[in-house]
């Protein structure tokens, strides 16, 4: 069993968030339950799900059966697009909590800004109420670009604690990262290893570094996220990969090697563009 002492990032409201966790996107309910069981046994303490994933109940069952104190597990879920709006958000939150079987949530995120629909400000007011009622320890957003953040901050009382965005060596999102740093918003990387459109895991630079450090390509990339100050949530439903992905705290990439990975940026999205998507 791996050591559970994953580093933490202190959010802008003082809450400590583990810097590495398990994502369960594209896992069905049963797969997510088993993956979370393995992850918690291996030392993970951050679990990231979403209403849209359809596996909140499985995640909740795994947490309940783990024997780990609730306060030691950092649980994130996300509000789906169809549920945006003030009253709709409050109802959707209750539904998610019922599925998760939890009394409180550590982090709640608006899944997508959906600029053409333009409900995210009303949604954020509901988030602020849930936060004020102490039902959530921290609130944040996902896939928000600088203009979305600017619009939200203009009418909000609480600055988002986290912005979860697609981020990997081929899509480094410098402008969004800089905007978040300026507001003390923690960046969290989804799809941190890239994807099939341009598989970062097969990049020759990453492969060379893997040989240099005797680590897998995935471990090299995860370590790059960690040293960059991001929270990172690689997804897997395979026990051996779940174990491998957390085994990244016994080495450190040199400054030159960090720069070599930074030079790989291609502005290549694997997922939808937040500026235009209004359905997912």
Active site residue ranges: 53
Which helix (H) or strand (E) covers residue 138, if one does?
A: strand 136-142
d(CA 171, CA 120) in angstroms, rounded, equals 25
Q: Where are the alpha helices (DSSP H) in the chain?
A: 29-42, 56-65, 86-100, 120-132, 146-154, 174-182, 204-213, 217-228, 239-246, 255-262
Query: 44 in helix, strand or coil?
Result: coil
d(CA 245, CA 218) in angstroms, rounded, equals 7
Q: Distance of alpha carbon 47 from its chain centroid, rounded?
A: 9
d(CA 155, CA 176) in angstroms, rounded, equals 19
Tokens of 61: 């069952």
Angle between helices 217-228 and 255-262 (to 10 degrees): 100
Based on the number of CB atoms within 10 Å of its own CB, is 199 exposed (0-12), middle (13-18) or buried (19 or more)? middle
Query: 84 in helix, strand or coil?
Result: coil
């Amino acid at each position: 069993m791996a050591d559970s002492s994953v580093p933490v990032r202190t959010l802008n409201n003082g809450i400590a968030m583990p810097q590495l966790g398990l994502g369960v996107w594209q896992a069905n309910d049963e797969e997510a339950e088993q993956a979370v069981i393995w992850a918690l046994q291996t030392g993970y303490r951050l679990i990231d799900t979403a209403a849209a994933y359809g596996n909140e109940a499985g995640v909740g069952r795994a947490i309940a059966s783990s024997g780990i104190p609730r306060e030691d597990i950092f649980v994130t879920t996300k509000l789906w697009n169809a549920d945006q709006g003030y009253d709709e958000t409050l109802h959707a939150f209750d539904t998610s909590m019922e599925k998760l079987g939890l009394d409180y949530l550590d982090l709640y995120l608006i899944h997508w800004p959906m600029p053409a629909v333009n409900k995210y400000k009303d949604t954020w007011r509901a988030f602020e109420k849930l936060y004020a009622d102490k039902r959530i320890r921290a609130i944040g957003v996902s896939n928000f670009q600088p203009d979305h953040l600017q619009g939200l901050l203009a009418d909000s009382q609480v600055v988002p604690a986290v912005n979860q965005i697609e981020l990997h060596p081929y899509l480094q999102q410098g402008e969004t990262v800089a905007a978040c740093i300026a507001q003390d918003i923690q960046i969290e990387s989804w799809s941190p290893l890239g994807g099939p459109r341009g598989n970062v895991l097969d990049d020759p630079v990453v492969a060379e570094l893997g040989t240099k450090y005797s680590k897998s390509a995935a471990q090299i990339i995860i370590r790059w996220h960690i040293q960059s100050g991001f929270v990172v949530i690689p997804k897997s439903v395979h026990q051996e990969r779940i174990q491998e992905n957390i085994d990244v705290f016994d080495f450190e990439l040199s400054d030159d090697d960090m720069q070599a990975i930074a030079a790989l940026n291609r502005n290549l999205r694997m997922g939808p563009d937040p500026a235009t998507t209004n359905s997912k």
